[in-house]
Amino acid sequence: MYLSRLTLASFKNYREAELTFCPKLNCFVGDNGSGKTNLLDAIHYLSFSKSYFNPTDAQNIRHGDDFFAIHGTYHHADDTFQVHCTFRRGGRKVLKIDQKEYDRFSEHIGRIPLIMIAPQDQELVYGTAEYRRRFLDSVIAQFSHAYLDHLIAYNHALGQRNHLLKQQLIDAALLDILDTQLAERGTAILRERLAFIEALQPYFQKYFNDIAEEAEKPGMQYRSTVGDLDNYKAALAAAAEKDRILQYTSVGIHRDDLHLTLDGYALKKVGSQGQQKSFLLSLRLAQWEYMTEQKGLNPILLLDDVFDKLDKNRVYKLLKVVGEDNFGQVFISDTDPTRVAKIFELHPIEHRLFTVPAI
């Protein structure tokens, strides 16, 4: 699957834009602040119905305008289809495939699989556990609609339980019902998370070996707050008194974490910038390969300023990997046109270069 045409109206810094892409590598080159990342974010919108960087739709409208519109034309095998995402200030967001509007945005997730690699991925290393949980959820939801349904239902029940815990008098029967709902949904989510991490490990190790120049062994360990899969409701019951005091639910998949390591030590403590960058790139590329197998088609790959903090050898290794025939469409942003030109001289890959003028 690949995106052949992107049309924008009043999106971020673009009043109007129309671009035509090739099925392999497409590179946006320009100064910082010129709008390279905004183009990548528009492509992200068409897969997820939301921005990668700013979840508030109104803030993605061009200053002084009342709406934005993003249109994309996609090709998959012999099929051609269009995706339209529009939002009007004070109104609602509309997502359509061809001319059919979605009733729920979640129905679209996974239709156009996509992976974004951006400087914000550093939050996987230094950020809170919530960021790492969002990583797991965003990946698994693209190939498992059941997971997404469980997650939506879990968050609804969690909101109800937290609201109940804030009441002066707590209905014990209602609390038990909500605990049952959380346990059923949470166990299903936990099972899929654990299976995904186990399945991802060999791909992750392979790409780390390809890109990194060190012999360290990277790792990922899931840290659950409920223990094993059969312990969910019991863990909620054990924490009930504490939760009444805190007035929120202190255990469950919404409190779990993914521990990232290098040779068994926390990545954020022992990893250099280069090692961390190699770790994160390897994690995203492993995600790409795993999703390819699950979906039976290549996810679109977005690389936003990934060459920052990567030495020349790592850059060439990365481009060699994504330029292989088994990879699908890739979009890259960079500030250095000389670097990009030199890379394509050394690795002749089908590509299209776009110079993004300064604002």
For 326-347, write each residue's pLDDT tens digit: 788 999 998 887 777 777 777 7
pLDDT at 21 over 70: yes
Looking at residue 253, the DSSP 8-state letter turns out to be G
What pLDDT digit, counting tens, does each position of 136-174 carry? 999 999 999 999 999 999 999 999 999 999 998 999 999
309 pLDDT tier (thresholds 50, 70, 90): low
CB distance 301 to 4 below 8 Å: no
Q: Phi, psi at residue 254, to the nearest 5°?
A: -80, -5
359 pLDDT tier (thresholds 50, 70, 90): low
Closest CA to 310 of 274, 340, 341, 275: 274
pLDDT computed for residue 27 by the predictor: 92
- Ordered domains of the chain (ranges, CATH): 1-113+297-359 (3.40.50.300), 124-296 (1.20.1050.90)
Burial 275-313 (b: 16+ CB within 10 A, else e): bbbbbbbbbbbbbbbbbbebbeebbbbbbbbbbeebeee
List Cα–Cα distances, 65 to 70, 84, 124, in angstroms. 14, 18, 34
Chain-centre distance of CA 59, in angstroms? Answer: 20
214 pLDDT tier (thresholds 50, 70, 90): low
Residue with tokens 């497409």: 26
What pLDDT digit, counting tens, does each position of 247-293 carry? 999 999 999 999 999 999 999 998 888 888 889 999 999 999 999 99
Cα-based torsion angle of the residue sequence 47, 48, 53, 56 in order, rounded to the nearest 10 degrees: 130
CB-CB neighbours of 2 under 10 Å? 19
Q: pTM for the whole thing?
A: 0.89
